Structure 1
């Protein structure tokens, strides 16, 4: 039994000039849509994550409380549940899967929200990492629909330093002989293990390792090597390599300025946002440092920058530790009550 539903999209013309045939959007909902359809929240997934990986921020007594709100978690195209390299029939399977932008992701999510549920206003859009990128895109693409936005540990435009990191992720896969230009019959295991090692140096901060927090709750690994193998390699060995590459392309090409009507002007796109917005970078995030998001906030009318303190870096999101989860949840509660 699947714990999610499928919205049939049909043939989707993408902004990249390609067509994704018989596309499918996997999603899960939590709570009940009220009579006037005013309690809907969209909470997109992140790089390699699926709907169940978002559930750490959903629950009774939390900001995203299913007894109050109707929470829609759409799975990104490319994540293995929605149309992806791993589940799309030939000829668009594997390495032939079309390139998908954040704009394309949100266009299909908008179809789900409006065509399936008849929702005209969203009380909130929020998300972590690539989910934050989709949050920004929602606020730019549909400024009159999104009432509140809270992107955390993500960006509206992928910085060049972030692009460089993703090149390392991609080439970790490319250099595995088993990859076979993406037409493999079994996963490139060496490449996926290498992706885990690359991610280990970026996902968490220097201070996290100085303090050897991998040996403490919630990880409780016996040594650094134990952590690298048990957590990081294990995380990516469970993924499909072509799916990771498809999502990496989306991430690398993130820029709300590429939304139709803005001609690549990132600042003008941000200035069009009407949602009440709190932007929450993490203090030591190596992907999305606070100064990058301070720049973005400076171009969003009335937006607030609220930095997540601590040493967990990018993984201040993701539900990895209770302190950061409480900080994010408090901001969401405040925003929803405003």
Structure 2
């Protein structure tokens, strides 16, 4: 997603450029996939804070669609949402995001359109291998925004005895039919570009990428976001530094024109695979019912594809879970790190409650 014009890309307010608290590392692994294939991969991850001698102060944060480990920087640091004076934060770049092994950087036999489908469950399996390599058995909290939330749900179902607390923000435990329609519309806009060549493009399919970003912009926010409240407003598109609706559309088109098309589609395939109940006894209801983590489910009140209605169902199925919506006109973007202080404060309060509980 575009870097919103509130601060330099990936740079938390008040933090000098180039002084990221994240220590980046790589883990090589031969990952068996749900499809039966195997992917030789490098998983990139960042850590911040100090791991306690008992290794019991770990917070795991999976990356989101088009995001990287750096995308969570507005939340990470002393006194921030993820307070590195107390917690050891592990942020993982999911496979397919262009940093960890992806269509754009994989060995030739796995590159481009040959990249295998990596499911949400595969992503969690890779992250489990990472934590094993660090000698970490237990997580105080798993949290994330958007696709990060989907992975967090999968963690709590796949490893219920290893997750103390769960905070999915503007995400879901499965990709709903309505969500799928949105994704397939954006995909259709991209692959319709003749330059796409079924993923074997020689030059980037810029027309398709711009169309993809334009379609996406209409879903990322809300009806209220696009109403012009006038100059100086602290709500809607002007609050994020945009001057007009056309400005929003141009920003999203230009941002996606700079991305790799096959990476976008690989991450989309991961997204579409999300379903904690798939091929599990009792399906979706039983999977959510198996979660033992203390849970706050935090949708945005105006999210158009990870909806409050779906989150309410999920909260009702997770034992003891609280539904705590973010009251915001920003749509899905309400929960994105570093967007606006009002939403960030609500997220920080939920993090504190879960970690201190």
Q: TM-score range by the shorter chain?
A: over 0.9
Residues 258 and 264, structure 1, Cα contact 8 Å, conserved in 2: no
1:271 Cα shift? 0.7
SS in 2 for 1:257: coil
Say which of 166, 171, 175 aligns to 1:158: 175
In structure 1, the partner of 2:15 is none
Runs of 4 or more consecutive aligned structure 1 residues displaced over 3 Å after TM superposition: 211-215
SS in 2 for 1:151: strand
Matched, 1:315 2:336: no
What CA distance in whole angstroms lies between the structure 2 residues aligned with 1:214 and 1:192? 25
Query: 1:245-298: CA deviations, max 9, x gaps?
Result: 001011112101126xx1470111111111001110100000111110110111
Matched, 1:66 2:84: yes
Matched, 1:50 2:71: no
Gap regions ≥5 residues in structure 1:
none
In structure 2, the partner of 1:245 is 265
In structure 1, the partner of 2:6 is none
Residues 214 and 224, structure 1, Cα contact 8 Å, conserved in 2: no
With normalisation by structure 1, the TM-score equals 0.94
In structure 2, the partner of 1:335 is 354
Count of paired positions: 331
SS in 1 for 2:317: coil
Query: 1:49-94: CA deviations, max 9, x gaps?
Result: 0011111221221231111111000101100011100001121110
SS in 1 for 2:277: helix
1:195 Cα shift? 1.2
Q: How does 1:117-156 map to 2 (within 5 A)?
A: 117-156=134-173
Residues 214 and 227, structure 1, Cα contact 8 Å, conserved in 2: no
What CA distance in whole angstroms lies between the structure 2 residues aligned with 1:46 and 1:34? 27
Residues 106 and 138, structure 1, Cα contact 8 Å, conserved in 2: yes
SS in 2 for 1:284: coil
What CA distance in whole angstroms lies between the structure 1 residues aligned with 2:335 and 2:191? 29
What CA distance in whole angstroms lies between the structure 1 residues aligned with 2:62 and 2:48? 13
Q: How does 1:277-292 map to 2 (within 5 A)?
A: 277-292=295-310
Residues 79 and 247, structure 1, Cα contact 8 Å, conserved in 2: yes
Residues 204 and 313, structure 1, Cα contact 8 Å, conserved in 2: yes
What CA distance in whole angstroms lies between the structure 1 residues aligned with 2:275 and 2:343? 27
In structure 2, the partner of 1:189 is 206
What CA distance in whole angstroms lies between the structure 2 residues aligned with 1:211 and 1:241? 32
1:215 Cα shift? 5.0
What CA distance in whole angstroms lies between the structure 1 residues aligned with 2:34 and 2:284? 17
Query: 1:88-131: CA deviations, max 9, x gaps?
Result: 1121110110001111000110110112x101110000000000
How large is the Cα RMSD of the aligned pairs? 1.6
Residues 48 and 244, structure 1, Cα contact 8 Å, conserved in 2: yes
1:4 Cα shift? 2.1
SS in 2 for 1:72: strand
Cα gap change, 1:210/1:222 in structure 2, threshold over 3 Å: closer, same or farther? closer
What CA distance in whole angstroms lies between the structure 1 residues aligned with 2:113 and 2:95? 14
Say which of 116, 119, 122 aligns to 1:101: 119
Residues 165 and 293, structure 2, Cα contact 8 Å, conserved in 1: yes
SS in 2 for 1:98: coil
SS in 1 for 2:77: coil
Residues 193 and 237, structure 1, Cα contact 8 Å, conserved in 2: yes
1:161 Cα shift? 0.5
